[in-house]
Structure 1
């Protein structure tokens, strides 16, 4: 599969290998890169493509969550089957521990040209191998970094990968970091040959996961895609979320049930607890902290000039939210080859589901787009709500969050195919502004189908917002 939208990441990897090659007589020419990102985002495939195109001698080892002894044995097999010179040494003398394995590996790395060593799913080793971080740190400082090698460490457990390089841990400041995100809406649109509005729809349903996007026939519309994928029991659209969750929460039933409750649309602590089976406050707190730590769930507060306690939760990945809402509860009917029933259910619930799911994506689009000639950039772009929802503002730009000193702009989102933002919508926005501030804060509208109201400071549609994603992003930056 072509790496659509990954040119920047491939270029960054190539530049880092170039630094290794150009280190000359440096005592420690080696470089280390830590890559993290959600499961099935394409981290391993990206690195595999880079290694293949580089032509450098390399070894690629993927941990599997087995025992420390079995992982060590498999590491030896990976080295023995690699393209490193003298790799047969691992066949003749299998190392007895990870310290010996890294020392033996360093002895195989060329001195006169760069090589690449990849260790995938590093969090498994951190979890199963005693003192793995310290072992890795010593091996890097004493042996590996003294060779012209690019060491790439990959992990899907985001919190553990962040911890690996954090202050006070053995590997602190020994590697650069790359965060690999999904394909963004512009990349999805380019890959699938879609207009701007349809690209946002596709980005939500696929989550920008390359494997799911690859199943979307270029030029096909949303309903063609869903009609094909929801009648295929082995479609990536169906199985990707299930496999990711099984890996993320192999033994945490409470986290899985809380995630299902949030994915079904529950947003408040009380309602989530009820939907998750009436679990206790302590259990729910632990589960939401786990989900937030893995970046699967966001716990958000309204942005305003006065404090609020009205925390709400949402699933951060729109594909996972789609799967939890429309697919997970109906997998049995899909397995009975009645995916047509599922498609019809999506049709009936699509407008409501999309209306809420698209809001965070559009807010991020706006944050990336600003400043322009109408509005300033805002350090914080979020939303506002009250407990009763009597006042809801879709877009709030402020100088900080959640308690702002200054509100920079307020806005409303109307994302319907045949209904523009009109004077009635503007009146509602003005009324809500008056409920939270006496200031004449600028007003904006984000609309899929245009704007007929007058008196707004700025308006934005799909074509303008998609351009925000064509600018260089922070994702993948070293």
Structure 2
């Protein structure tokens, strides 16, 4: 199914702004694989009549030869084709002679060049300083290995540090742009379910068909032997991290609900202190995040670890622990396992979309808050029992205003019953309890009846029709 280029206006404007400046420009674009970097940058370079080069995993000699052929095709230089460039010095000399006026070029998957020759950053720095910085070249270095791009290209110790004109980390699309991948007739509920699996990654979304249910898409594109997405979670980890087996165990533990450091360590068969560096690496790569209750400091002992990416969370929840069924092509069993837990899985992703909705509503003046996040906690009752509670989203403003939100991926929700539940949980939230002003907010697929107040507290209700209207606006 074909899809047009979606969103990325800010990223495109970033590239255009640098293009309008005089002098040489060295631009770094990086981000997770499948985020749409190549489509963004290669289209930009193509429109500028420049040279796009996709680095390979081959040796340096082969890379220079392939690059020579690319240059020869672009400049119609048959002499270069018959006598390919032998070293980087020759390449930069050649490029410098062609860049007296604005000339665009891109090295996509630049980390592959570094793998072929670790000295590449130093080589590029030397010839950038000596040759290209005095020209009108516009060079893009693009890569999917976040760790390598941040350390070998952007890092303070990188030889290229201080040479770049700008950098942009391409993030997944927000939910409000996901609908653009599907026909206008696609139900909003189905888009939400697809988003819960694919997140905002363009490649994953292009693998989904809006005319099919989320489960049908999963069984055809993810839970099907031989399909690219069936092993995508494994590729994501292996591409970035050594000791992948340890990281697989950690991510599976988090996906299965073991979210405290000691629980994760027990699952992985490690000491809690030994697992710290593994968690730090996953946080650095934005694969997981450490989150604390909104009323606590981030270093709180109450902090939990969650998988940041929808697809990775899906893969480690349903595919990784059931790979045996996938390998033996027992799709009926896989379908049963996914079906049994899918609604609850979507519910957690729905919370993220509700947060995006609130940020959108805030930008339009429909609500105000300073901070937003989840809350969980506990207290001892008079009888000595430990009472625990979680609140999906809590909004704080100043020192006294708090909005407590619940997100229910259900139909015909009784708003009054949910408000009563929130009221009970609110008693456990000790944030400025004596002076604060509470409000309630409820999200649901649909309501049997909406309410505007509960026991004197302002209460807002939003169903998916309300959300669709706001997010599509």
State the TM-score, normalizing by the size of structure 2.
Answer: 0.84
Alignment deviations for residues 409-459 of structure 1 (CA, whole Å, 9 cap, x no partner): 332323333241522211121222232223113322222223534413433
Alignment deviations for residues 248-299 of structure 1 (CA, whole Å, 9 cap, x no partner): 22444322321221122221112111222x2122331011001001100011
SS in 1 for 2:395: strand
How many Å separate the matches in 2 of 1:140 and 1:462? 53
The correspondence for 1:136, drawn from 124, 127, 132, is: 124
SS in 2 for 1:256: helix
The 8 Å contact of residues 238 and 244 in structure 2, kept in 1 or not, is answered as no
How many Å separate the matches in 2 of 1:87 and 1:183? 43
Greater strand fraction, Structure 1 or Structure 2: 2
What is the aligned partner in structure 2 of residue 118 from structure 1? 106
Measured after TM superposition, the shift of residue 10 of structure 1 is 7.2
The 8 Å contact of residues 422 and 452 in structure 1, kept in 2 or not, is answered as yes
Which region of structure 1 is more displaced relative to structure 2, 150-159 or 457-466? 457-466
Which region of structure 1 is more displaced relative to structure 2, 418-427 or 130-139? 130-139
Task: Give the alignment of 1:302-341 within 5 angstroms.
Answer: 302-304=293-295, 308-341=300-333
The correspondence for 1:409, drawn from 402, 427, 431, is: 402
What is the aligned partner in structure 2 of residue 393 from structure 1? 391
The 8 Å contact of residues 133 and 171 in structure 1, kept in 2 or not, is answered as no
- Note if 1:284 corresponds to 2:275: yes
The 8 Å contact of residues 85 and 91 in structure 2, kept in 1 or not, is answered as no
What is the aligned partner in structure 1 of residue 169 from structure 2? 179
Measured after TM superposition, the shift of residue 339 of structure 1 is 1.7
SS in 2 for 1:136: helix
What is the aligned partner in structure 2 of residue 476 from structure 1? none
RMSD: 3.0
Task: Give the alignment of 1:150-299 within 5 angstroms.
Answer: 150-163=138-151, 164-166=153-155, 169=158, 170-172=160-162, 174-193=164-183, 194-229=186-221, 232-276=224-268, 278-299=269-290
What is the aligned partner in structure 1 of residue 383 from structure 2? none
Which region of structure 1 is more displaced relative to structure 2, 200-209 or 333-342? 333-342
The 8 Å contact of residues 31 and 37 in structure 2, kept in 1 or not, is answered as yes
Alignment deviations for residues 295-333 of structure 1 (CA, whole Å, 9 cap, x no partner): 000111111168842010111111111111111222232
How many Å separate the matches in 2 of 1:469 and 1:122? 36
Measured after TM superposition, the shift of residue 107 of structure 1 is 3.3
Higher relative contact order (CA 8 A, sep 6+): 1
Provide the aligned length of Structure 1 versus Structure 2: 449
Distance 1:384 1:101, change over 3 A: farther
What is the aligned partner in structure 1 of residue 381 from structure 2? none
SS in 2 for 1:321: helix
SS in 1 for 2:178: helix
Unmatched 5+ stretches in structure 1: 24-28, 400-404, 472-478
Which region of structure 1 is more displaced relative to structure 2, 174-183 or 262-271? 174-183
Unmatched 5+ stretches in structure 2: 379-385
Measured after TM superposition, the shift of residue 467 of structure 1 is 5.8
State the TM-score, normalizing by the size of structure 1.
Answer: 0.83
Measured after TM superposition, the shift of residue 463 of structure 1 is 4.0
What is the aligned partner in structure 1 of residue 43 from structure 2? 49
